[in-house]
Chains A and B, each alone.
Chain A
Amino acid sequence: MLSILRNLDRRLIFLMMLLAVAVPILLQSRFPEKPSGLAQAVFDEIEALQPGDRVLLAFDFDPASEGELGPMATSLTYHCAQKELRLYFMALWPVGPQMISNVIQDVIRRDFPHMVYGEDYVDLGFKSGGEGVIKVILTDLRQLYTTDARGTPLNRIPMLEDVTDIRQMDLIVSLSAGTPGTKEWVQYAVTPYPHDLRIVAGCTGIQAPLLYPYIPQQLPGLLGAIKGAAEYEELVMQAYAGEDPPARYAEARRRMGPQLVAHVLMILLIIAGNVVYFTEQKRGRR
Chain B
Amino acid sequence: MQRSTMLWTLVMVVAAAFLIGRTLQGEGGRGSAYVRVVPRAVDEDHPEGRWQGVERVDPAEYWRAQAADPAQTAVRWSPANTVGIWLAALFTLAVLSFLAGDNPVYKVAESILVGVSAAYWMVVGFWEVLVPNLLGKLMPGVIQAWALPGLEAEPDLSYLVPLTLGVLLLWRLAPRGAWIGRWPMAFIIGVFCGLRLVTYIHADFLSQIRNSIVPLVVMNERGFAFWDSVRNVLTVFGMLACLVYFFFSIEHRGAVGKCARAGIWVLMITFGAAFGYTVMGRIALLAIRLEFLFDDWLWLIDPNNRRVVDGATALLQSAGIL
Residue numbers of A with Cβ under 8 A of B are 9, 11, 14, 17-18, 21-22, 25-26, 28, 64-68, 70, 94, 105, 125-129, 131-132, 135, 144, 146-147, 150-153, 155-156, 186-188, 191-192, 204-206, 208-209, 213-214, 217-218, 224-227, 246-248, 250-251, 254-255, 258-259, 262-263, 266
**A26 contacts B287, CB within 8 Å?**
no
Residues in A with CB closer than 8 Å to B285 are: 64-65, 67-68
Interface of B is mostly: helix
A209 touches B128 (CB 8 A): no
Please determine whether B152 and A146 come into contact, CB atoms closer than 8 angstroms: yes
Point out which of A128, A131, A146, A188 has the most chain B C-beta atoms below 10 A from its C-beta.
Answer: A146
Contacts A21-B290, A25-B291, A258-B287 given; does A94 touch B128 at CB 8 Å: yes
Q: Which residues of chain B come closer than 8 Å to A187, judged between CB atoms?
A: 199-200, 202-204
Which of A28, A218, A226 contacts B207 (CB under 8 A)? A218
Determine whether B195 belongs to the interface, using a CB cutoff of 8 Å to chain A: yes
Task: Let me know if B303 and A28 touch, CB within 8 A.
Answer: yes
Q: Is B132 an interface residue (CB 8 A)?
A: yes
CA distance A89 to B111 in the complex (A): 33
CB distance from A66 to the nearest CB of B (A): 7
Q: How many residues of B contact A (CB 8 A)?
A: 55
A147 touches B151 (CB 8 A): yes
- Given A22-B290, A188-B199, the answer on whether A225 and B277 have CB atoms closer than 8 Å is yes
Per-residue contact bits, chain B 296-313, to A (CB 8 Å; 1 contact, 0 not) = 000011011100000000
Q: Is A146's CB under 8 angstroms from B128's CB?
A: no
Closest B residue to A191 by beta carbon equals B203
Total A-B residue pairs with C-beta atoms closer than 8 Å?
A: 159
Going nearest first, the 10 A-B pairs with the smallest beta carbon separation are A67-B288, A205-B281, A205-B277, A187-B203, A191-B203, A151-B150, A209-B274, A147-B150, A205-B280, A258-B287
How close is B189's CB to chain A, nearest CB, in angstroms? Answer: 14
Report whether A151 and B211 are in contact in the complex, using a CB–CB cutoff of 8 Å: no
30 A-B residue pairings within 8 Å (CB atoms): A11-B8, A14-B99, A26-B294, A28-B303, A64-B285, A67-B288, A68-B281, A68-B284, A68-B285, A125-B128, A147-B132, A150-B150, A153-B150, A153-B151, A155-B152, A187-B202, A191-B202, A191-B203, A204-B281, A205-B280, A206-B277, A209-B277, A213-B204, A218-B207, A225-B281, A247-B304, A248-B304, A254-B303, A259-B280, A266-B279
A10 to chain B, nearest CB (A): 8
B10 at interface, CB cutoff 8 A: no
Let me know if B149 and A144 touch, CB within 8 A. Answer: no
Q: A147-B150, A155-B152, A255-B287 are in contact. Are A217 and B55 (CB under 8 A)?
A: no
Question: Measured between C-beta atoms, what is the minimum distance from A95 to chain B in Å?
Answer: 8
Using Cβ atoms and an 8 Å threshold, which residues of chain A touch B72?
A: none
Once bound together, how far apart are the Cα atoms of A237 and B122, in whole Å? 41
Among candidates B121, B132, B278, B300, residue contacting A146 with C-beta atoms closer than 8 Å:
B132
- Take A14-B99, A225-B280 as given contacts and tell me if A67 and B151 are in contact as well, using a CB distance cutoff of 8 Å: no
* A28 pairs with B124, CB closer than 8 A: no
A188 to B200, CA, bound (A): 9
Would you give the 0/1 interface string for B48-68, flagging 1 where the beta carbon is closer than 8 Å to chain A? 000000011000000000000
Cα separation A28 to B279 with both chains bound (whole Å) = 21
**Which residue among B128, B208, B281, B286 has the maximum number of chain A CB atoms within 10 Å of its CB?**
B281
Q: Is the CB of A66 within 8 A of B288?
A: yes
For the complex, give the distance between the alpha carbons of A26 and B291 in Å: 8
Contact of A128 among B129, B273, B300 (CB under 8 A): B129
Q: Which residue of B lies closest to A260 (CB)?
A: B283
